[in-house]
């Protein structure tokens, strides 16, 4: 059984069983019913869904010469009040190391999607400014992600709300934002 293609994106080969459920069963066999097997299976499922979504998003963004990380940076710039942000702010908002933010911006500059301009308030700093081409690429990827239902089209509106709320609780308790 080979990979299938949906919306031009290669789907992973499907296993004949759920490996996370199997890991949960083996966990219980080894450490017993009270061993936090459900928590392990839930956490592993969240991480696997993240991998699946990121792979799909990268493939969609790739059709427009982007990675999902670069697409996120373009969205961030497009949502900013002036279409520009400092490198430190980009790293902070994307939750990546400043070096990674600089690398993302450098690649966007090389593609003509972003320009670097001096920060008049900080001689060592610069702003990343989204270009018309960057806006167009961002809009094209967004349309494709919407067409793909962001990889979550199998959920109804109630399930989206429930899942968001559950993940919101996890993020808030981890200190991801000020609740």
Along the 179 residues of the chain, how does pLDDT read in single tens digits?
455 555 555 666 789 999 999 999 999 999 998 899 999 999 999 999 999 999 999 999 999 999 999 999 999 999 999 989 998 899 999 999 989 999 999 999 999 999 999 988 888 889 999 999 999 999 999 999 999 999 999 999 999 999 999 999 999 999 988 87
The reply to whether the predicted model has a pTM over 0.95 is no
Q: Do 125 and 87 form a contact (C-beta atoms < 8 A)?
A: yes
Q: What's the Cα-to-Cα distance from 106 to each of 13, 15, 102, 126, rounded to whole Å? A: 34, 39, 6, 12
> Secondary structure of the chain in the HEC alphabet?
CCCCEECCEECCCCCCCCHHHHHHHHHHHHHCCCCCHHHHHHHHHHHHHHHHHHHHHHHHHHCCCCCHHHHHHHHHHHHCCCCEEEHHHHHHHHCCCHHHHHHHHHHHHHHCCEEEEEECCEEEEEEEEECHHHHHHHHHHHHHHHHCHHHCCCCCHHHHHHHHHHHHHHHHHCCCCCC
Question: Given this model, what pLDDT does residue 141 score?
Answer: 98
- The pLDDT value given to residue 147: 98
Buried b vs exposed e over 11-42: b needs ≥16 C-beta within 10 Å? eeeeeeeeebeeebeebbeeeeeeeebeebbe
| Per-residue model confidence (pLDDT) at position 12 | 65
> Where do the domains of the chain lie, and which CATH numbers do they carry?
68-138 (1.10.10.10)
Q: Quick one: pLDDT at residue 33?
A: 87
Could you tell me the two tokens for 2? 């080979």
- Res 143: pLDDT: 98
The pLDDT, as a whole number, for residue 1 is: 45
CA distance 68 to 60: 8
* Cα 79 to Cα 71: distance, rounded to the nearest angstrom: 12
């Amino acid at each position: 059984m080979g990979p299938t293609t949906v919306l031009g994106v290669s789907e992973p080969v499907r296993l004949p069983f759920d490996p996370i459920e199997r890991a949960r069963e083996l966990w219980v066999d080894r450490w017993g019913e009270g061993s936090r097997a459900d928590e392990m299976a839930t956490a592993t499922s969240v991480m696997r869904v993240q991998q699946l979504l990121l792979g799909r998003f990268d493939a969609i963004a790739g059709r427009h010469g982007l990675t999902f990380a670069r697409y996120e940076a373009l969205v961030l710039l497009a949502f900013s009040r002036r279409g520009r942000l400092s490198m430190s702010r980009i790293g902070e908002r994307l939750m990546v190391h400043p070096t990674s933010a600089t690398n993302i911006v450098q690649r966007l500059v090389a593609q003509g999607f972003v320009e670097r301009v001096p920060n008049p308030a900080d001689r060592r700093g610069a702003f990343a400014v989204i270009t018309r081409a960057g806006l167009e690429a961002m809009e094209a990827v967004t349309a494709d992600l919407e067409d793909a239902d962001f990889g979550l089209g199998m959920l109804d509106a109630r399930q989206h709300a429930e899942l968001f709320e559950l993940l919101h609780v996890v993020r808030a308790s981890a200190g991801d934002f000020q609740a």
